[in-house]
Amino acid sequence: MLSFSTSLPLSLLLLLPFSWASFYDNPEFDLPPESGTPLDELKAKWDTDWGFSGISTFAHLRHVKCLTTPYEPFDIGIIGAPFDTAVSYRPGARFGPRAIRAASARQTTFRGFNHRAGINPYASWPAVLDCGDIPITPFDNALALHQMTSAYLELLSRRPLSYTNPPSHKHPKLITLGGDHSIALPALRALEKTYGQPIAVLHFDAHLDTWHPGSYPSAWANTPTQADFTHGTMFWVASEEGLIANGSSVHAGLRTRLGGADWGDYENDENQGFLRIEADDIDAVGVSGIIDAIMDRMGTERPVYLSVDIDVIDPGLAPGTGTPEPGGWTTRELIGILRGIEGLNLVGADLVEVAPAYDGNGEGTALAGAQVVYEILTSMVKRGLKERGEEVVLQKPGKHIAAAAAAKAKAKTARDEL
Ligand SMILES: *[C@@H]1O[C@H](CO)[C@@H](O)[C@H](O)[C@H]1NC(C)=O
Ligand SMILES: [Mn+2]
């Protein structure tokens, strides 16, 4: 192989001296000074993760175990509730938080601008942390409920970093990664206590979750029993406890089979004061009609808890969930609806029922879950921005296909009227 260089064409040989001094050579290194490398230099060099690098936190946010660090104030916390021993069908949502965190990896501060909303929720006024998980017992649901309520109350009682700036921001906000849907009950218990009033619930789900505990086979149980606390009955319990604003709440995306041979489940639901929007309604009124129905009902002032069961999306797109029901909304429709309701006064939110064991290899369900959290976070941040009087610029440069289509339709109508 010694003949190697002599067999190279002359033109390549001429290039060799350059390549010896090229990017293959590292620059000369000095030892870092004894006083240490300056922090800003370290941060400039090493702070930014790639989507695929780093320890898994939601969107690469700084992880602080908020429950044990009262000296670390925050404004919005993403917190896991890995609890799934209140499910009626497939277990596995205890692995939801880690799957959603992993699937959020391509959400970063440096590429986090939400083009639909016109803001980057990771580069704005709030301190957003990944608060880690609530350690919840898998052996005793009564204790688990107590632990979750205590954890929410502890965190909601903290003074947020941006206290009263925006003016309404007096308590930190939490977005919970479930977990099965029962985790909404402790969240509502804590929110009702913190805000001193019943909370309106906006509930995206294939199912009602206002079911009477007796609607499950329960001949062996004496009522009340901890078996009343399930992922299908937590809103019934919450209504009984007066935690839910009766007459202001909404279900969206319903398509569940009902019990018995009549509309009894709907009558029971009516008594709890929910408006029901069914999955099929979108065919009649479109995404904008669903948005209008929700906003007309809930307004922009009332405190709202937004609870998203990932099974609202069709199982063809989001199969990794506990109780799948065919015929659901698409991920794009759900995102469109979430963007349209950004004016709500959200005081808390959850994304529940992601069970990664039933997800596809491409983690579609967890990706959808991570996107939903991103949209909810965007809305919380954007409302704060507006309350602070800061302008959100929605105008986008370049070609506007939707606007062009609307102008064309308008011109056609004008022609038809001639
Ligand atoms: C909700 O309000 C309706 C109408 O006032 C009432 O009949 C119903 O009992 C209330 N439900 C609950 C759970 O308080
Ligand atoms: Mn549910």
Distance separating alpha carbons of residues 305 and 283, to the nearest angstrom: 26
pLDDT above 60 (res 31): yes
**pLDDT tier, 10 (very low <50, low <70, confident <90, very high otherwise):** low
Least confident of 79-88, 176-185, 199-208, 214-223: 214-223
Res 4: pLDDT: 46
Residue type, 254: L
The rounded Å distance from CA 322 to ligand 1 centre is 30
Ligand sitting nearest the alpha carbon of 323: 2
pLDDT above 90 (res 34): yes
- Best residue among 239, 240, 271 to mutate for probing ligand 1's pocket (most ligand atoms within 8 Å of CB) is 271
- Best residue among 192, 211, 246 to mutate for probing ligand 1's pocket (most ligand atoms within 8 Å of CB) is 246
Query: Using CA positions, which residue lies closest to atom 12 of ligand 1?
Result: 272
Res 224: pLDDT: 83
The rounded Å distance from CA 361 to ligand 2 centre is 24
Asked if 120 and 31 count as a contact pair (C-beta separation under 8 A), the reply is no
Long-range Cβ pairs for the range 137-140 (8 Å, 24+): 138/83, 138/84, 138/85, 138/94, 139/85
Res 230: pLDDT: 96
**pLDDT tier, 3 (very low <50, low <70, confident <90, very high otherwise):** very low
**pLDDT tier, 5 (very low <50, low <70, confident <90, very high otherwise):** very low
Distance separating alpha carbons of residues 107 and 150, to the nearest angstrom: 30
With CA atoms as reference, report the closest residue to 313 among 302, 305, 303, 323.
Answer: 323
Res 11: pLDDT: 56
Q: Look at the block and give the residue holding tokens 């260089």.
A: 5
Which residues, including other chains, have CB under 8 Å from residue 27's CB and lie 6 or more apart? none
Q: What is the pLDDT of residues 226-250, one digit of tens each?
A: 899 999 999 999 999 999 999 999 9
Res 72: pLDDT: 97
Q: What is the pLDDT of residues 57-97, one digit of tens each?
A: 999 999 999 999 999 999 999 999 999 999 999 999 999 99
**Of all atoms in ligand 1, which is nearest to the CA of residue 242?**
14
The rounded Å distance from CA 180 to ligand 2 centre is 8
pLDDT above 90 (res 218): no
**pLDDT tier, 355 (very low <50, low <70, confident <90, very high otherwise):** very high
Which residues, including other chains, have CB under 8 Å from residue 64's CB and lie 6 or more apart? 72, 74, 129, 130, 131, 132
pLDDT above 50 (res 50): yes
User: pTM of this prediction?
Assistant: 0.91
- Range 34-57 average pLDDT: 94
Res 217: pLDDT: 84
The residue that leads in pLDDT, 26 or 52, is 52
The residue that leads in pLDDT, 227 or 2, is 227
pLDDT above 80 (res 19): no
Ligand sitting nearest the alpha carbon of 237: 1
Query: Using CA positions, which residue lies closest to atom 3 of ligand 1?
Result: 271
The pair of three-digit structure tokens given for residue 199, joined into one six-digit string: 């909370």
354, with CB counted inside 10 A (0-12, 13-18, 19+), is buried
Res 405: pLDDT: 79
Pocket, ligand 1, Cβ cutoff 6 A: 239, 246, 271-273
Asked if 244 and 201 count as a contact pair (C-beta separation under 8 A), the reply is yes
**Of all atoms in ligand 1, which is nearest to the CA of residue 239?**
13
Res 1: pLDDT: 39
**pLDDT tier, 13 (very low <50, low <70, confident <90, very high otherwise):** low
Phi, psi angle pair for 313, to nearest 5°: -80, 150
Ligand sitting nearest the alpha carbon of 245: 1
Res 417: pLDDT: 79
**Of all atoms in ligand 1, which is nearest to the CA of residue 273?**
1
Long-range Cβ pairs for the range 261-267 (8 Å, 24+): 265/208, 265/211, 265/215
Res 310: pLDDT: 98
Res 318: pLDDT: 98
Map residue 244 onto helix, strand or coil.
Answer: strand
Ligand sitting nearest the alpha carbon of 254: 2
Long-range Cβ pairs for the range 331-334 (8 Å, 24+): 331/368, 331/371, 333/282, 333/287, 334/204, 334/253, 334/308, 334/368, 334/372
- The highest-confidence range among 170-184, 378-392, 402-416, by mean pLDDT, is 170-184
Q: Look at the block and give the residue holding tokens 């849907």.
A: 181
The rounded Å distance from CA 273 to ligand 1 centre is 6
Mean confidence (pLDDT) of the chain: 92
pLDDT above 60 (res 6): no
Percent of residues, the chain, with pLDDT higher than 70: 94
- Range 337-362 average pLDDT: 97
Least confident of 66-75, 248-257, 341-350, 383-392: 383-392
Chain centroid to Cα 186, Å, comes to 18
Q: Which domains does the chain have, with CATH numbers?
A: 57-387 (3.40.800.10)
Distance separating alpha carbons of residues 28 and 369, to the nearest angstrom: 46
Res 245: pLDDT: 96
- Range 92-113 average pLDDT: 97
The residue that leads in pLDDT, 220 or 377, is 377
Q: What is the pLDDT of residues 112-165, one digit of tens each?
A: 999 999 999 999 999 999 999 999 999 999 999 999 999 999 999 999 999 999
Distance separating alpha carbons of residues 405 and 400, to the nearest angstrom: 9
Asked if 134 and 67 count as a contact pair (C-beta separation under 8 A), the reply is yes
**Of all atoms in ligand 1, which is nearest to the CA of residue 244?**
13
Res 193: pLDDT: 98
Least confident of 7-11, 248-252, 303-307: 7-11
**Ion ligand 2 residue ranges (Cβ < 5 Å):** 181, 205, 209, 309
Least confident of 29-43, 258-272, 313-327, 389-403: 389-403
